[in-house]
Structure 1
């Protein structure tokens, strides 16, 4: 551990300093279109939406450099690109978990409530007929959340939190901050309406909080791979966009996810959420 890192640990800057960028930067930029009443997918609102959303990315990169210097940035960069970090079994979890939970929610709605159409694949089927539109949609989904957010949440912050607390506690701290970071989106003109859905804020926050535990579970077992977290985030967002659940099926999916989290915590333990019991720590 370098002198710089020891100072950051002692003063807590490695934890709260990240929030200055992630939330301070984002909320400052996002407050402008909210107060002005601009549509966020039209100019000039779009500029503030995009630039503001970079707060988590900036927080991850800048704080990694302030705390760890070149070592911190190098470590972050490697974990962004090294595919070999991800064990095959965890790659399967990364790709299949969110679609599976979606189907479980839909199937439960059929069995319990006799729902006729608990899930609709209409958005996906429409895009399959237009490869360019499909690629564009997937690119937007990737850029608007998974890539830039995970550089901060899991790429930097989760490691620092796990130095202080158990994996479960660190996950809940990330989950609360993550949900709060998204809060201004519910006040923006045109954000959720442009995606043809408007989630309930309380349910959204709960899903983020519960989901954060699964992200830690995957991240810790994928050798701190930021790439794994990004792809996991991407599959989750894409599944939600392209497969539309009914309100009842969505509720059952939330219950299934919560049940899975409880199983994960019981089987792997709240301390590390890791098979071998070895706590993964940043090298700085």
Structure 2
């Protein structure tokens, strides 16, 4: 029912605000990286706890595996976009660290790296591409259950496919605003960061939502999300100056420029669809 749909989304929003208020009180310098993962797990956990009948729909989206060739292609595309943002850091001369062994050692999951993976930057990037997403799979799935699952399906039933894709993507971007304000997440500039995070993730979210609808599977956006997190933490964040993230970040201008054409192309290929009456999947 629609009232349940609104209740679930309101609960998630209030939980996000409360969690980030706690982060603000603790202070980012004292905040373990793992704690930030709670904001990713939170949406999916609330959906699973509050929407009993949607679990059947979710199981369908998880059980269906997309074709491996396009799945691998979008996996690689995501990694290339993040690497291009890293190249932008070097191009604009705003790097804070060279790409070397000492920088690789600062990777939050460096203790999991085999010696061969930390030997050279190229070997490290190969590790991030092949193994890094596994480290972020659970937290990525926690977000995708809501954004490309429950919310996308719920909006589609009421407002049609294209409105649902754009609306769910925009909501995903806006979801990060409390983190920007509370702990300067990604962007030290609260106002500019909030705007850029929202717009850039809207572009990313359109791509991921279109692919979820195309493949009728949650795995494509989950893996893209995991790849993006792996390469951002493992490659981009290690060399970039946070004060320049508005320009070079995957969630800033560079990321938006790289993803928006693809988002618009995928959006143009969607079948418009009609509004549908709410069904049992939204309760």
Question: Equivalent of 1:240, from 221, 226, 232?
Answer: 232
| 2:15 corresponds to | 25
Q: Is the 8 A contact 1:60 1:153 kept in 2?
A: no
Residues 149, 121 of structure 1: alpha-carbon distance in 2 compared, 3 angstrom cutoff: farther
Alpha-carbon deviation of 1:52? 5.6
Q: TM-score, normalised by structure 2?
A: 0.68
| 1:61 corresponds to | 48
| 1:211 corresponds to | 204
Residues 46, 240 of structure 1: alpha-carbon distance in 2 compared, 3 angstrom cutoff: closer
| 2:56 corresponds to | 74
Residues 97, 167 of structure 1: alpha-carbon distance in 2 compared, 3 angstrom cutoff: farther
| 1:115 corresponds to | 91
Correspondence 1:163 to 2:143: no
Structure 2: segments with no counterpart, 5+ residues: 115-127
Q: Is the 8 A contact 2:200 2:255 kept in 1?
A: no
Residues 180, 104 of structure 1: alpha-carbon distance in 2 compared, 3 angstrom cutoff: closer
Q: How does 1:1-284 map to 2 (within 5 A)?
A: 8=1, 12-34=2-24, 37-39=25-27, 42=30, 54-65=41-52, 68=53, 72-80=54-62, 82=63, 84-103=64-83, 115=91, 125-126=104-105, 130=110, 132-133=112-113, 141-143=136-138, 145-189=139-183, 192=186, 200-223=193-216, 225-244=217-236, 247=244, 249-250=248-249, 251-266=253-268, 268-269=269-270, 271=272, 284=281
Structure 1 Cα separation of the partners of residues 178 and 132 of structure 2: 23
Alpha-carbon deviation of 1:76? 1.6
RMSD: 4.2
Structure 2 Cα separation of the partners of residues 53 and 271 of structure 1: 30
Structure 1 Cα separation of the partners of residues 169 and 132 of structure 2: 26
Residues 53, 30 of structure 1: alpha-carbon distance in 2 compared, 3 angstrom cutoff: farther
Structure 1: segments with no counterpart, 5+ residues: 1-7
Structure 1 Cα separation of the partners of residues 93 and 196 of structure 2: 22
Residues 219, 47 of structure 1: alpha-carbon distance in 2 compared, 3 angstrom cutoff: closer
Number of residue-to-residue matches in the alignment: 249
Residues 91, 41 of structure 1: alpha-carbon distance in 2 compared, 3 angstrom cutoff: farther
Q: Is the 8 A contact 2:12 2:43 kept in 1?
A: yes
Q: Which stretch shows the higher mean deviation, 212-221 or 95-104?
A: 95-104
Q: TM-score, normalised by structure 1?
A: 0.68
Structure 1 Cα separation of the partners of residues 22 and 91 of structure 2: 43
